[in-house]
Amino acid sequence: MALAEIALILCGLAAINNQIAVARASIDIGVNYGRQGNDLPSPDNVIQMYKKYGIGKMRLFKPEPSVLQALRGSQIDLVLGIANEDLPNLAASLDATHSWFATNVEPYLNDIQFTFIVAGNEVVPGNLAQFVLPVMQNMQNILTGKGLAAVKVSTSVAVSTLGQSYPPSQGAFSEDSKETMQGILKFLAAQGTPLLINAYPYLAYTSDPQDISLDYALFTANGPIVHDGNLSYSNLFDAMVDGFFSAMEQLGISNVGVVVSESGWPSAGNGNFTTPELAATYNRNFMKHILSGDGTPKRPGSYIEGFVFAMFNENQKPAGVEQNWGLFYPDMQPVYQVFPLQG
Ligand SMILES: *[C@@H]1O[C@H](CO)[C@@H](O)[C@H](O)[C@H]1NC(C)=O
Ligand SMILES: *[C@@H]1O[C@H](CO)[C@@H](O)[C@H](O)[C@H]1NC(C)=O
């Protein structure tokens, strides 16, 4: 056999192997890689875990060179945050924003697929809220200038941005969030970029377990629990997301989508509200719901990206629940079984 033919056959095999690897490699689910622990695995090991469990997307709260280095060539999509404390500086100066981009994104563009750059996490409303839109604009200018249309700029907000979230049709931003959100949403609408929202049925449920049923919080209700006009809800997650859609509509914005940048359930720290079984049930059902592409009652069939919070239990967070959001212990063992996701 000629050498060229052997090379062709080898190429073919490599292609087949690649296809198998890609098919098995990833589900369209993200996991937040929080790093507030002094006992976490090395970034290389973490990337191997994402690959092993087929987690296709990572969210990182701020750039960390060791993680970015480890991500090179991994084919894991990255949502990269700008640290809250960097917002004032970047808002004040296009040069500072450019330098952030040149340090944290540009050197990796050939090897990492950045999907979002996120200007701050849960800073609206608050002292830093005023800086979010200017940073988004500066960053967008840089990306547009470089023709990087695949990288989107957004920000991530908590449900506390809403003054009212129930019933979902009455969702509205709070008075102290409204003006900032209007500016941000106009920007997102013009760019065709979704808003990132952090949605935790756990927090709503544990703040009012008398009135909210556990099944409604865990996606395990057999039928509708909440009726709201002509829509009905069998899970609290959809109701929260639709609360955001209603709040946007109230500001005249009906064409901005959402990405759920955080959702999850802690496995310990709050008595029988936090067991590995409940956390496993929530996170499994959350991921299945995201993968189903069913959307929400207000936006049926609209695909919503979702990210679980979080990859690891983090021992440098406040004691109790806060340390127990992880799917994995720092020794890389699962806290409970969620992967592979069964249909
Ligand atoms: C449901 O109610 C909304 C708001 O009242 C209305 O705009 C919509 O057309 C209704 N949809 C159906 C299918 O009746
Ligand atoms: C926790 O225990 C209390 C008291 O036994 C019970 O009423 C409640 O339903 C339990 N909650 C969960 C989530 O299991």
Question: Apex CA 123: angle with CA 78 and CA 197, to 5°?
Answer: 50
In whole angstroms, what is the distance from residue 171 CA to residue 167 CA?
Answer: 7
Apex 115 CA angle, 156 and 308, nearest 5: 55
Q: How many C-beta atoms surround the C-beta of residue 208 within 10 A?
A: 9
Of all protein residues, the one whose alpha carbon is nearest to atom 7 of ligand 1 is: 230
Catalytic residues: 122, 262
C-beta atoms surrounding 306 within 10 Å: 24
Residue pLDDT, tens place only, 306-332: 999 999 999 999 999 999 999 999 999
In this structure, which residue's CA is closest to atom 10 in ligand 1? 230
Segment 210-221 mean pLDDT: 98
Q: Which of 7-16, 22-31, 88-97, 236-245 bottoms out in mean pLDDT, i.e. has the lowest?
A: 7-16
Phi and psi at residue 175, in whole multiples of 5°?
-55, -40
Name the one residue in this structure whose structure tokens are 């087949």: 16
Q: Looking at residue 27, what is its pLDDT?
A: 87
Q: Is the pTM of this model over 0.75?
A: yes
The average pLDDT across 136-150 equals 98
pLDDT attached to residue 342: 63
User: At 136, which helix (H) or strand (E)?
Assistant: helix 129-145
- Separation of 110 CA from ligand 2 center, angstroms? 51
CATH (residue range 25-323): 3.20.20.80
Taking the CA of residue 162 as centre, how many other CA atoms within 13 Å lie in the half-sphere pointing to its CB? Answer: 27
- CA gap 208, 236 in Å, rounded: 12
Residue 274 in this model has a pLDDT that exceeds 60: yes
Confidence band for 299, pLDDT divided at 50, 70 and 90: very high
- Cβ-contact 58, 71 below 8 angstroms: yes
Across the strands, what pairs with 107?
Answer: none
User: Is a pLDDT exceeding 90 seen at residue 231?
Assistant: yes
CA of 31 to the centre of ligand 2 (A): 29
Residue ranges per structural domain of the chain? 25-323
Identify the band that residue 20 occupies on the pLDDT scale cut at 50, 70 and 90. very low
Find out whether the beta carbon of 336 lies less than 6 Å from any atom of ligand 2. no
Q: Which residue has a Cα nearest atom 12 of ligand 1?
A: 230
Judged against a pLDDT cut of 80, whether residue 302 lies above it is answered with: yes
∠ CA(119), CA(124), CA(125), 5° rounding?
155
- For 203-215, what is the mean pLDDT? 97
Cα 197 to chain centroid, rounded: 8
pLDDT tens for 21-78 read 343 447 899 999 999 999 999 999 999 999 999 999 999 999 999 999 999 999 999 9
**Would you state the pLDDT for residue 31?**
98
Cα-to-chain-centroid distance, residue 235: 19
